[in-house]
């Protein structure tokens, strides 16, 4: 109320002061200096502050949530990357197995069909398969090795239907003068040794 002293007489100021003494329903303020704000304007501004404070709190929660998501996302990205790497390795291993299986099948067929191997499993240890390659259905490096093996291990090759004397039940030994299966008793069956 002090701001009124310079605008009204001292007697009027004293009367106003006595009239408003103890009255809490009337408050005086100087609107000219801007220090007074109406209740409605104050309430509106207070509501805006409350809304903005709530929005800030919500943003803080979102930032924390995003921080967690980002760390979870990093973990998830690491897991995805690890799974992709494991899948790539498994795919390469699977592809290598398929290629090896195709190579082995083609080599077995080549040894049987072209070189007439009687027992492919017996021929394979004599081959250096690491220098043999299969390209467009043709073997590179096989003929050179097989030319030596056929000469040095000829008993592993030939036509099973015409071979005789191997001692297997499918190819019994050819009969001879001393008897087909009785090698210990040749003298008994051979009249020239008596």
Q: Which residue has the higher pLDDT, 19 or 180?
A: 19
Structure tokens, 174: 């050819």
| Euclidean distance between CA atoms 30 and 34, whole angstroms | 7
Structure tokens, 101: 């299986």
DSSP 8-state assignment for residue 174: P
Q: What is the mean pLDDT of residues 111-127?
A: 91
Q: What is the pLDDT of residues 35-69, one digit of tens each?
A: 566 678 778 888 888 888 888 888 888 887 777 77
Q: What is the pLDDT of residues 153-188, one digit of tens each?
A: 999 998 654 444 444 455 555 555 454 554 554 444
Residue 45 is predicted with a pLDDT of 84
Residue 164 is predicted with a pLDDT of 44
| Euclidean distance between CA atoms 170 and 118, whole angstroms | 12
Q: Which of 6-10, 27-31, 77-81, 140-144 has the lowest mean pLDDT?
A: 27-31
15's enclosing H/E stretch is: helix 10-20
Using alpha carbons, select from 146, 147, 102 the residue that is nearest to residue 123. Answer: 146
> pTM to 2 decimals?
0.44
Q: How confident is the model at residue 143 (pLDDT cuts 50, 70, 90)?
A: very high
Q: Say if residues 132 and 145 touch (Cβ distance below 8 Å).
A: yes
Using alpha carbons, select from 161, 167, 159, 162 the residue that is nearest to residue 183. Answer: 167
Q: Which of 28-37, 74-83, 112-121, 165-174 has the lowest mean pLDDT?
A: 165-174
Structure tokens, 172: 């019994």
Using alpha carbons, select from 72, 53, 54 the residue that is nearest to residue 64. Answer: 72
Residue 134, pLDDT above cutoff 60: yes
| Euclidean distance between CA atoms 84 and 2, whole angstroms | 80
């Amino acid at each position: 109320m002090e701001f009124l002293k310079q605008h009204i007489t001292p007697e009027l100021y004293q009367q106003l002061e006595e009239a408003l003494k103890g009255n809490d329903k009337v408050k005086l303020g100087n609107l000219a200096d801007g220090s007074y704000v109406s209740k409605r304007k104050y309430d509106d501004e207070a509501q805006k502050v409350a809304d903005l404070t709530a929005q800030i709190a919500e943003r803080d929660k979102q930032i924390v949530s995003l921080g967690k998501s980002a760390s979870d996302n990093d973990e998830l990205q690491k897991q995805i990357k690890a799974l992709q790497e494991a899948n790539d390795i498994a795919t390469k291993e699977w592809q290598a197995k398929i290629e090896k299986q195709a190579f082995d099948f083609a080599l077995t067929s080549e040894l049987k069909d072209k070189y007439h191997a009687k027992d492919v499993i017996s021929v394979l240890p004599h081959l250096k398969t690491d220098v043999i390659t299969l390209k467009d259905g043709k073997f590179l490096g096989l003929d050179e090795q097989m030319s030596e093996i056929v000469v040095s291990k000829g008993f592993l090759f030939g036509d099973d239907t015409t071979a005789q004397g191997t001692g297997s039940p499918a190819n019994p030994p050819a009969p001879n003068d001393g008897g087909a299966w009785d090698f210990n008793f040749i003298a008994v069956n051979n009249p020239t040794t008596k």
